A and B are shown apart, each in its own frame.
Chain A
Amino acid sequence: MEVPILKQGPYLIATIQSALTDADLLQLRDSLVEQVGRYRSRGVIVDVTALDVMDSFASRTIRDIAQMIKLRGAETVIVGIDPDVAFAMVRLGLNLEGVATTLDLEEGLVLLNERARATKR
């Protein structure tokens, strides 16, 4: 299932709405990396609230997304990691090191706005 990507001012917001296959995750990665250039976006938010499982493939792809977006000159924030998913990730030995995370979409926008302000100075 394709993940809808919404353009909101200088940001792109991708909201995962169901379980994703590996192919869906890779498509999300490619779409975000492409659209960040097309819309000259400053930041990307990936909302994973509805993601059922964050296994090794999903967390690696999320890290890849954040790094590729960084190389394209924008920031990425992952928002909405469910408490059960966080617990399973920790037990499995997975982390999202180097990737910004916030509790929810609202906090994600605050973080991106703060970073935008910091770079303007």
Chain B
Amino acid sequence: MRLPPGVEEAKVPIQSDTDIVTARQRGRMLATQLGFTSGDATIVATAISELARNIVLYAKGGEVLLTPVESRDNYGLVITARDEGEGIADVRQAMQDGYSTSGRLGVGLPGVKRLMDEFEIVSEAGKGTTVTVKKWKR
């Protein structure tokens, strides 16, 4: 399926809490343009908010890439949250519900995984973390 006209990848630099809002609003707009339900557009915006907040909390800076994708008969949205922070020492531990090194609410990554259809995390100590998630239109 060809992407609808005018639907393009967006890159949002993440430095502060205002960028979190910008990223999730861009994501909601793209999801809506791709025909996602309002419920799924909210899911996408919520996941982006959590991922972008992780960048602000743990890495001080990074970016969120919002990429519309197509399959034979459907559309999807890929969200790539990338930072060049410290990296996550123990990814398996970070994926456990309730785990948080910042002492804040530990819903972060496992919660985001539950919201999305596909989830991948790559982290290297000292080099940063990239979380890639995908949501298909229903």
A-to-B contact residues, CB < 8 Å: 19-23, 52-57, 59-60, 82-85, 87-89, 91-94
Contact = CB atoms under 8 A, between A and B. Distances in A.
A105 B115 CA distance: 29
Chain B facing A: main interface SS: helix
Size class of the B contact interface (CB-based, 8 Å): 20 to 34
Interface string B97-130: 1000000110110111011000000000000000
A92 B104 CA distance: 15
A94 B115 contact: no
Contacts of A93: 97, 107, 110-111, 114
Contacts of B45: 52-53, 88
B42 A21 contact: no
Contact of B50 (A21, A52, A55): A55
Given A84-B38, A84-B39, A88-B43, A53 B24 contact: yes
23 contacts: A19-B25, A23-B18, A52-B45, A53-B46, A55-B46, A55-B50, A56-B105, A56-B107, A56-B108, A57-B49, A57-B53, A59-B105, A60-B105, A88-B43, A88-B45, A88-B115, A89-B46, A91-B111, A91-B114, A92-B111, A92-B114, A93-B111, A94-B107
A60 B103 CA distance: 12
B20 interface: yes
Q: Which 10 A-B pairs have the closest CB atoms?
A: A84-B42, A22-B17, A92-B111, A56-B105, A55-B49, A88-B46, A21-B17, A84-B39, A93-B107, A93-B111
Contacts of B111: 56, 91-94
Contacts of A52: 24-25, 28, 42, 45
